[in-house]
Structure 1
Amino acid sequence: RFPNKPLALIDHRSMIEHVYSRVASSPLVAKVVIATCDQEIIDTAAKFGAVGIITANTHERASDRCHEAMMKLAAQGEHFDVVVMVQGDEPMTHPEQIAEVLAPLQDEKVTVSNLCLEISQDEAQSLDVVKVVMDQHDDALYFSRAVIPALIGDQPRRFYKQLGLMAFRRAALRQFAELPPTPHEKSESVDMLRFLEHQVAIRMVRTAHKTIAVDTPADLERVKVALKSH
């Protein structure tokens, strides 16, 4: 759909560098690592001083790739209690969003958290946008590329999209990798459904920072415009 997407240029810097520098500017982050199966991305990362970890090219889910990177760091003697995963196609990630996604983990019962953003009904129609519905305690009920909640009747409703920014306790990320992939995870192509289908709760956090994930070249152009206006 978008070859070499992480290396696409935004204002003379690669998209992956934008993501990296924004995450690294959070005071809550001890180490930032770029996990990829693409040597070209590793080489690009080295040029702007980032640590890259090469992973298997067989991962269909970013969370599995993230787990492999965590295990490789552990093998080098680097252990982390919490891992924040930021998708490489989120160049508008705000450093404050790291604090937002980490906040629920102050409750030791919460093992996984994920950011979401309120969107318009028009944006909710897109299959590129993963929508989420939550219960009264902000735990995810379901993620879908279809429009959820459904447009029935004239009741006012709010739509939220999942952002590619999650936090896992170390044991939860290990659990994700050990659990078998699930039917809805595969049909929707959404990592977090593996947790839900195995009855692992995901605490959603509403963010006010508007971001645009880059799924298509058109999204990239929207990001360029949005970043210039900041």
Structure 2
Amino acid sequence: MKEFPKCYGIIPARYASSRLPGKPLADILGKPMFWHVYDRARRCPELARVLLATDDERIRAKAEELGVPAVMTRPDHASGTDRVLEAAELIGVEPDAVVANIQGDEPCLEPAMLTDLLRPFREPEVRVATLAGRIDAAEAASPDRVKVALATNGNALYFSRSAIPFDRDGSGDGYLLHIGLYAFRMEALRAFAALPPGALERREKLEQLRLLENGIPIRVSLTRHACHGVDREEDLAGVTNILREQL
């Protein structure tokens, strides 16, 4: 087992959002949402550096005002992963380092989730990692909840919006919810960005299937922590209450 690699956390913060324009700047307890994500991510002891990657001068200016390190990236990226790669290259991330893509709409992020995400990189063969948590059959039935099935070594076999594996005996358990935090070795991040979308990715509308379709394994780390993402304006009240209770 090699020495644990240097790890970076990059938070993509795009201004445009069809459901909640300007989402990174949404006010939560007097601070923009991106500040809460940054504040919690920097508490992860495995991360040597955390920064914001944005495409908007308003977000960059607010980050500077609050002391949050940020880099400006192109506005035309197809995904947050592409934005993370540009930011990683701008700051000169080392070829053997690990980059965590930290969702900018997770103001209640538990730092321990990032520790869970990065732990697999103690094994030198791990190139990409993500998270999963246990859910029941009722939750697994929703196509909005992405499920993952695992091999015995902890690598992902498949991700799907369908309930996998099919519960033929009706036991009602064994479902794993995919949690959309990712970490890549820098070479794997570059490889991912260079690949075209695959047939399975287009069909399921799941970007991570591009890796599996091209033979790039994804190690899945189980976590007991849950996400509380913000997709719509009505989600802000819920995360505000969670954060207020933690004060």
TM over 0.5: yes
Quick check: 1:15 aligned with 2:33?
yes
Counterparts of residues 68-87 of structure 1 (less than 5 Å): 68-74=86-92, 79=94, 81-87=97-103
Q: 1:66 corresponds to which residue?
A: 84
Greater percentage in helix: 1
Quick check: 1:134 aligned with 2:150?
yes
Contact 1:6 1:15 (8 Å CA) reproduced? yes
Counterpart secondary structure, 2:36: helix
How large is the RMSD of aligned CA atoms in angstroms?
A: 2.0
Moved more, 82-91 or 161-170: 161-170
Q: 2:191 corresponds to which residue?
A: 175
Counterpart secondary structure, 1:32: strand
Contact 2:106 2:227 (8 Å CA) reproduced? yes
Counterparts of residues 43-122 of structure 1 (less than 5 Å): 43-74=61-92, 79=94, 81-122=97-138
Q: 1:67 Cα deviation (Å)? A: 0.9
Identity among equivalent positions (%) equals: 37
Out of 106, 123, 140, the residue aligned to residue 124 of structure 1 is: 140
Write the distance in 2 (CA, Å) between the matches of 1:17 and 1:2: 17
Length-normalised TM-score, structure 1: 0.88
Q: 2:14 corresponds to which residue?
A: none
Change (3 A) 1:98 1:134: same
Change (3 A) 1:205 1:53: same
| Deviations 1:163-193, CA, capped at 9 Å, x for gaps | 2321111111111111222122233333311
Out of 231, 243, 246, the residue aligned to residue 215 of structure 1 is: 231
Change (3 A) 1:229 1:123: farther
Write the distance in 1 (CA, Å) between the matches of 2:98 and 2:148: 23
Q: 1:123 Cα deviation (Å)? A: 3.3
Q: 1:161 corresponds to which residue?
A: 177
Change (3 A) 1:6 1:190: farther
Moved more, 10-19 or 51-60: 51-60
Match for 1:56: what amino acid? R
Change (3 A) 1:4 1:96: same
Match for 1:172: what amino acid? A
Out of 23, 30, 40, the residue aligned to residue 5 of structure 1 is: 23
Contact 2:133 2:178 (8 Å CA) reproduced? yes
Q: 1:148 Cα deviation (Å)? A: 2.9
Counterpart secondary structure, 1:17: helix
Match for 1:207: what amino acid? T
Match for 1:132: what amino acid? V
Length-normalised TM-score, structure 2: 0.83
Write the distance in 2 (CA, Å) between the matches of 1:163 and 1:45: 26
Q: 1:39 corresponds to which residue?
A: 57
Q: 1:26 corresponds to which residue?
A: 44
Moved more, 191-200 or 32-41: 32-41
Give ranges in structure 1 of 5+ residues lacking alignment. none
Counterpart secondary structure, 1:30: strand
